[in-house]
Structure 1
Amino acid sequence: MLTDHEVEVLIHEAFEYYGFDFGGYSRASFKRRIDRLYQLDGFKSFPELLSRMRTDTEYFKRMVEEITVNVTEMFRDPLFYKVLREEILPLLATKPFIRIWHAGCSTGEEVFSMAIMLKEANLLRKSLLYATDLNPSVIVAAKKGIFPIRMMQQYSENYIASGGKKDFSDYYIANYDRAKFSEELIEKMVFSQHNLVSDSSFNEFDLILCRNVMIYFDKDLQERALKLFDDSLSKLGFLALGTKETIKYSHLQPRFLQLRKEKIWKKIK
């Protein structure tokens, strides 16, 4: 188990050597994941771990993968997607062009879910989906649009529960143990690395989704991320967060109106 001081040293050194700022992450969550990594990789002392991180860039990538949480699935929380499908997309349909940002996209399942809904609403042709994550390796995986075939039954059930009416298997080609999703979906996606802690706004969006990412941030970092989203949203744009996330206690709350109970807010100021 690392001490609190050692955790702070690790955070400082990660920023000094690689520019990754973990300073705003919940210390309890960060420490829990570093302790797990420390035990998994059999380090005998903190200096040994620190030296490995400083000198081995591939190992640092592994650290990032362990620290950043990548738990996702297609059409996760189907009722949330049903609200997007039935209430938000018809409003976005009135725009000449639609820009959507998935912040903290992980391996891309939710981005593909959105692309499928846009296609079914005949909106994919005039849409662009930006998908970003802190972790470069999940970005590489997401770009491929390849997911385990064993997950397709669950994803199909989620899709139907979200209001999907087509045969879900029409969107992918099965090849042994993998499912490769349509290039028609992928060509409307832009994947890149982005750090919600230190990077700035890079476009104006009509819809931003950042679900179950900020639960790992402390209060200051949550506020910083919300400010970034506010700066990146067009007037009357929408912000979608995870089930345990809110802007209720943010100083930005007066600028937004919450829609229903699905953690979707409309920017009104």
Structure 2
Amino acid sequence: MQGSVEDIEIDLLLEAIYQFYHYDFRHYARASIKRRLLQARDRMGFSSFSAMQEKLLHDPAMLPGLLNYLTVQVSEMFRDPSYFRALREKVVPHLKTYPSLKLWVAGCSNGEELYSLAILLREEGLNRRAMIYATDINPDALQAAEAGVYPLDQIRKFTENHQKSGARSSLSDYYTADYGRAVFDKRLRERVVFSDHSLVTDAVFAEMHLISCRNVLIYFDRELQDRAIGLFHESLARKGFLGLGSKESLRFSGQAAGFSDFVREEKIYQRRDLS
């Protein structure tokens, strides 16, 4: 009985967040969203999800803190280096044939993936012709991404990943150390647009040559995954590329016919025309 009451409370809380604040978590993977809500409830000092809902509806100042629990901000620069090596070796030659480029980092979190791509583009001589769109639903994450500041103790791992990705320079060329922090060169974001965008509710906003959305779809249920993948297909230019996370796949998606494998082992796909 207790479990069913808790599940009803969660449904009502997610509906309240959607109706009142227009953030839609109703189709996120249930086990994942429940785990994060439990953590938020306990750490924020509420006795129940109903108490959380009451507070949330009457105190908008609570929303940013809750969003930090509901959105995932765990990443690292050049995460899965073989993915970035595949971009460098297999995708970049195609990107070099375009006079101008648009790339989308969907679910950019605190910006690690964004800066990884910006550095790769600079190393490959594409930074001057590329515009990057970095989007997320969490305003705190977008602010952190725009700042480009990371704990210095993470840099060793970032550097190791960068070298494994086929780096053509040293990661230290792109940041300065300052009081235990690594502050990344603001020139890396000269051609970056940071924007609030939801894969759940928002539409296409530009035609892209490469979309990198890694380790986001694993938090969605099947219906929402299909919506997001359909959005990516609609957003991509003819023969554009989509990169997913290592635990994600198009294999069981209703949108799979819109893509062909490009680098199968690295979950890099190419848009296929359906007509």
Same fold (TM over 0.5): yes
Scaled by the length of structure 1, the TM-score of the pair is 0.97
Given residue 164 of structure 2, which amino acid in structure 1 is its aligned partner?
Answer: A
Name the counterpart of 1:59: 62
Name the counterpart of 1:12: 15
The alignment covers a number of residue pairs equal to: 269
The match for 2:245 among 235, 242, 246 is 242
Name the counterpart of 1:267: 271
Given residue 50 of structure 1, which amino acid in structure 2 is its aligned partner?
Answer: Q
Given residue 187 of structure 1, which amino acid in structure 2 is its aligned partner?
Answer: E
Partner secondary structure for residue 161 of structure 2? helix
Query: CA separation in 2, counterparts of 1:78 and 1:46?
Result: 40
Query: CA separation in 2, counterparts of 1:25 and 1:47?
Result: 20
The match for 1:68 among 68, 71, 78 is 71
Residue by residue over 1:235-267, the C-alpha shift from the partner in whole angstroms, topping out at 9 and shown as x without a partner, is: 100000011111112232222111231000011
Aligned-residue identity in percent? 42
Given residue 90 of structure 1, which amino acid in structure 2 is its aligned partner?
Answer: P
Structure 1: gaps of 5 or more residues: none
Partner secondary structure for residue 75 of structure 1? coil
Query: CA separation in 2, counterparts of 1:168 and 1:42?
Result: 41
Partner secondary structure for residue 91 of structure 1? helix
Name the counterpart of 1:203: 206
Contact 2:82 2:164 in 1 (8 A): yes
Given residue 146 of structure 1, which amino acid in structure 2 is its aligned partner?
Answer: V
What displacement does 1:47 show? 3.1
The match for 1:136 among 139, 148, 165 is 139
Scaled by the length of structure 2, the TM-score of the pair is 0.95
What displacement does 1:179 show? 1.2
Query: CA separation in 1, counterparts of 2:47 and 2:160?
Result: 46
What displacement does 1:217 show? 0.5
What displacement does 1:192 show? 0.8
> Does residue 164 in structure 1 map to residue 167 in structure 2?
yes
Contact 2:259 2:272 in 1 (8 A): yes
Partner secondary structure for residue 105 of structure 1? coil
Structure 2: gaps of 5 or more residues: none
> Map of 1:91-170 to 2, 5 A cutoff?
91-170=94-173
Name the counterpart of 1:184: 187
What displacement does 1:61 show? 1.2
Query: CA separation in 1, counterparts of 2:262 and 2:49?
Result: 47
Partner secondary structure for residue 266 of structure 2? coil
The match for 1:48 among 48, 51, 63 is 51
Name the counterpart of 1:37: 40
Residue by residue over 1:197-239, the C-alpha shift from the partner in whole angstroms, topping out at 9 and shown as x without a partner, is: 0000000000001101010100100000011101100110000
Residue by residue over 1:27-74, the C-alpha shift from the partner in whole angstroms, topping out at 9 and shown as x without a partner, is: 111111111111112212333211111122221111111011111100
Q: 1:9 to 1:164 in 2, by over 3 A?
A: same
> Does residue 254 in structure 1 map to residue 245 in structure 2?
no
Partner secondary structure for residue 10 of structure 1? helix
Given residue 268 of structure 1, which amino acid in structure 2 is its aligned partner?
Answer: R
Name the counterpart of 2:85: 82
Contact 2:6 2:49 in 1 (8 A): no
Contact 2:211 2:236 in 1 (8 A): yes
Contact 2:9 2:50 in 1 (8 A): no
Query: CA separation in 1, counterparts of 2:18 and 2:267?
Result: 32
Query: CA separation in 1, counterparts of 2:49 and 2:182?
Result: 42
